[in-house]
Structure 1
């Protein structure tokens, strides 16, 4: 598996500059190809791509942008990742450099086939968190954010692992990995990517209303955790950061 990473990394680092995103996924020892915004045009029809199309590694700035769901343009993928509820999935990033802000993994049911599921209409999808990682120690400006330890400077990929809740009922789902970078004062940067999952297992549960949100809709510039100046002295020295949005649904 790492041989594949190494071969791919040389190409990707040529193109990924200040920003980045999830480009591949692993479940156990199996590797799944995401969409490369700098890759060949035949990705659009390649039968092995599991990630929805995104064409730029630039951030989304607007909390009301319809592309906040699955990036732009968010076209459906050709394939899906088969995964048993209770298993781990790892999103693989290359050349991620930002260090301040939360990272959140979301899922939504496609209510049928993900291949025909439109995320640009926010009313279609009700998202729930399956994991979130934020400030792990120290202060907001210079502390140990997971995003900071996730960033790699030695040429190896950055790995983000979350668990599919074991009690989740089978079906087709989107998994959405979102990094929110807060290094620009009062100008949050959103980096989302979505992949198709085919969840299998014996689960029978689905999150209740208190766990479900719309995207866009969950974030607002009225939220002090989103509209934040991490360089303001009063903010910078705080040692707690509450990730906004609903609680994580663990099943």
Structure 2
């Protein structure tokens, strides 16, 4: 069976949409479901595609960053849980191949997320042998943050974000790149503390091609060395060190560590749900922002869809707030201070070539024996093959193996039909 080059592109876009992408469906406050938030208190984008252009304004709140009529009421110290799904409850959450950290930020609502206004309130990277996304899936799409106990009353934008690393072994300009899923919700801190949110960081601007954690090879590098992009978690004081993780601007040192240690200790005395600080993935960007990446032959595929039934009683993922250490030059506690390995750094500068001296090991699938294989497996093996051949990707060899695998692939037609029903099939292929 002859398999055209267009088919892998179609399959990549199709399965990325079906089982890989995600957005925030609802918020839970101290265990109480606030209901579906799209168009109400969540500034929901029109699709669940990722943001890949680090210079795009969509990095802040995704596309469609337009004010919505409602706000969710919280108190300082409340547990703010994000609930993620492909589209709605009962859908798959996010493909397990999309491993990476989850982070959360606050900004004054009146800022609309523009300027140096974003302050990080929680993060989770690789802990206990798992990525934050692994824990999100295990907890049926729920991920917790804690509203800082010192933050003043007022209206805020709450930004939750998943940073998927399955193609982060190279830059977006090289046909791959980190996938961002930011999502912004409108919240009101009704009973707050006495600390005004300090000056923070800007989106876009905080993430660049050279920012630690933007390029990282999850297939070959030690995950414990991963550094979460962005500044450290705010300790609740009047000052805030906005330097990237692993760097220090000198604006917050031992005082920050003392305050953070106190808040972490206090959080530890509460229930596991109240102490968890988890970040969430975000909604998709417009097709215009991602169509180039999604139409390339190297767009990621998803592993078999993981449709996890929603459960309102599922215990949320628990993670301690990453407090800045006594010297803010160290990385937050939720990730190692070590910089990404040299193999990852090399990927930031190496331009892709069409031929290499030696080909990467061919990806192997059950299709080799002539049997059927899920198309997600074919595309995941293709991603691994490309990653293994860095810094000179073996597009020809890896592509040939993928094409052979795809010629025996099966498709989840239920998900395809749902895509057609929702009107996303045509949009993705534009």
Q: Structure 1-normalised TM-score?
A: 0.75
Partners in 2 of 1:105 and 1:195 — Cα distance? 11
- After TM superposition, list the pairs within 5 Å mapping 1:107-146 onto structure 2: 107-111=106-110, 118-119=112-113, 122-123=114-115, 126-138=117-129, 144-146=130-132
Partners in 2 of 1:223 and 1:52 — Cα distance? 27
1:161 aligns with 2:144: yes
Higher strand proportion: 1
Hey, what does 1:197 align to over in structure 2?
A: 187
1:246 aligns with 2:246: no
Runs in 1 of length 4+ with deviation above 6 angstroms? none
Hey, what does 1:182 align to over in structure 2?
A: 165
Give secondary structure in 2 for the equivalent of 1:147: helix
Hey, what does 1:219 align to over in structure 2?
A: 207
Hey, what does 1:21 align to over in structure 2?
A: 23
Q: Assess if the C-alpha contact under 8 Å between 2:109 and 2:186 holds in 1.
A: no
Q: Quote how far apart the aligned CAs of 1:35 are.
A: 4.5
Partners in 1 of 2:166 and 2:81 — Cα distance? 25
Hey, what does 2:333 align to over in structure 1?
A: none
Give secondary structure in 2 for the equivalent of 1:69: helix
Higher helix proportion: 2
Q: Assess if the C-alpha contact under 8 Å between 2:212 and 2:228 holds in 1.
A: no
Q: Quote how far apart the aligned CAs of 1:146 are.
A: 1.9
Partners in 2 of 1:16 and 1:176 — Cα distance? 24
Give secondary structure in 2 for the equivalent of 1:62: coil
Q: Quote how far apart the aligned CAs of 1:127 are.
A: 0.1
Partners in 2 of 1:34 and 1:175 — Cα distance? 16
Partners in 1 of 2:18 and 2:218 — Cα distance? 25
Could you list the per-position Cα deviations for residues 151-176 of structure 1 after superposition, in whole angstroms to 9, with x for gaps in the alignment? Answer: 14xxx731111110011001100101
CA 1:68–1:208: 2 relative to 1, 3 Å? same
Query: Across the two proteins, how many residue pairs are aligned to each other?
Result: 205
Hey, what does 1:58 align to over in structure 2?
A: 49
Partners in 1 of 2:231 and 2:42 — Cα distance? 25
Q: Assess if the C-alpha contact under 8 Å between 1:22 and 1:34 holds in 2.
A: no
Hey, what does 1:76 align to over in structure 2?
A: 67
Hey, what does 2:288 align to over in structure 1?
A: none
1:67 to 42, 46, 58: 58
Hey, what does 1:8 align to over in structure 2?
A: none
Consecutive unaligned residues in structure 1, runs of 5 or more: 1-14, 37-42, 44-48, 112-116, 139-143
Partners in 2 of 1:206 and 1:243 — Cα distance? 25
1:149 to 115, 135, 156: 135
Q: Assess if the C-alpha contact under 8 Å between 2:27 and 2:37 holds in 1.
A: no
Consecutive unaligned residues in structure 2, runs of 5 or more: 1-16, 86-92, 171-176, 237-430
Q: Assess if the C-alpha contact under 8 Å between 1:53 and 1:77 holds in 2.
A: no
Partners in 2 of 1:109 and 1:194 — Cα distance? 12
Partners in 1 of 2:48 and 2:71 — Cα distance? 22
CA 1:202–1:103: 2 relative to 1, 3 Å? closer
Partners in 1 of 2:123 and 2:62 — Cα distance? 19
Hey, what does 1:39 align to over in structure 2?
A: none
Q: Assess if the C-alpha contact under 8 Å between 1:33 and 1:50 holds in 2.
A: no
1:173 to 125, 139, 156: 156
Give secondary structure in 2 for the equivalent of 1:150: helix
Q: Quote how far apart the aligned CAs of 1:238 are.
A: 4.8
